[in-house]
Amino acid sequence: MRGTAQVPASKSESNRALIIRALAGSGELHNLSDANDTQLMQRLLQQPDAALFDAEDAGTVMRFLTAYLAMTGRQTELTGTARMKERPIRVLVEALQELGARIEYREEPGYPPLRLLGRTPGPATEATADFTELTVRGDISSQYISALLMVGPTLPHGLRIRLTGKVGSRPYIRMTLALMQHFGAVCRDLGEVLEVRPQAYEPTNYTVEGDWSAASYWYAVVALAPVGSHLTLPTLRRYSWQGDQAIAGIMAHLGVHTDFLADEQVRLTKTAPGKEFTQDFTDCPDLAQTIAVVAAATGVAVVMTGLESLRIKETDRIAALQIELAKFGGALTEVDDECFRVSAENFRVNGQTVATYHDHRMAMAFAPLALLGPLTIEDPKVVRKSYPQFWRELEKVGFTTDPTPAPVF
């Protein structure tokens, strides 16, 4: 297998840049993601007076908009899909309430949908201290922390966030701070303390990088391809803000070598896989499904930790992986508290049907198994959430699909 696969622009960067630009008032954003989550964010930000905002199934849209709308004093409602209404948001809401936001739960306490009733200065924002201070758990979604950070420059005294406990997905926090600095914010990462000075954003232009999360599926393709195969991926930076760039190092254990070329290109080359290894996914949880599938298919035993956040994603990704891997002879077994082992016995691909659980990453993590045999992916349209051109790009490098009733390889 040889060729070039186009990856979409980073959804994580795009959605952060859209919120920051809205707070800055203007600025040109180039190479925005065509993912549904980003297109949705753009549409909603263009409706400032809407009485209802529907975040659908987009976690960043729900969390970032909650903070943005609350701190800009909007009076509106924010809802989402049935699954979104099962994803907790209490930690973010309570932090925003400390900052003066008036927010009510419309249905189940601690979960969307929300009613936003404007903002009144609270005791913290009226204090004369250097910063408005919040204490936030670090083991919850980093999207809560990013949402708070991005509105920090708009507060009269800025914001100081003290993180407690284990901090997950820290690269996404660093990405948020780096984008904020690009737009003129003054902020610091002091480890367990994050500081944002009260200073208005400056209208600035920005070009979004390619998405390393999407690139992970091409790593999986190369890992399962014959020896000597290689693929080139454009628009990926060697020095990236994205935590999922960790895929380059992780996949070295599974038989993929990475070369960083000029003009922001990456070349992936198939090599021999290694043996058993252990990987902590605390900072890159979106890679877990890809690694679990490839490890099971190649017979490389992997011990996986840092998977706590997978249970509150688009689906319970741990349960979904366990069910779907079993169809092929693979297993994801909990061997200790939140420590899992991937194994396989007589792993075979021979026409199985993979359920996607309304989760784009389930579809794309299992699709590369088509290199080992035919399979069916249910509900292939779920990829529109982050990678709308995924099936087309697979076809460009030699996969064949039957779109009725679903892509069949």
Contact 247, 215 (CB under 8 A): yes
Instruction: Give the Cα separation of 63 and 78 in Å (integer).
Output: 10
> What's the token pair of residue 358?
């309304």
Name which of 122, 196, 199, 127 is nearest 160 in CA terms.
196
**How far from 160 is each of 24, 144, 179, 191, 223, CA to CA, in Å?**
20, 14, 18, 12, 43
Please give the structure tokens belonging to residue 160: 């100081």
Query: Are 112 and 85 a contacting pair, CB within 8 Å?
Result: yes
Give the orientation angle of helix 11-24 with respect to helix 170-182, to 10 degrees. 40
Query: Within 13 Å, how many C-alpha atoms sit on residue 2's CB side?
Result: 1
Residues 383 and 362: their CA atoms lie apart, in Å, by 9
User: Catalytic: which of 244, 286, 379, 402?
Assistant: 286
Nearest to 151 by CA among 214, 206, 196: 196
Rounded alpha-carbon distances, angstroms, from residue 248 to 149, 212, 261, 366: 29, 9, 14, 19
* 8-state DSSP, 235: S
408 vs 399: CA distance, rounded Å: 10
Known active-site residue 130: no
Could you give the residue numbers annotated as active site? 286
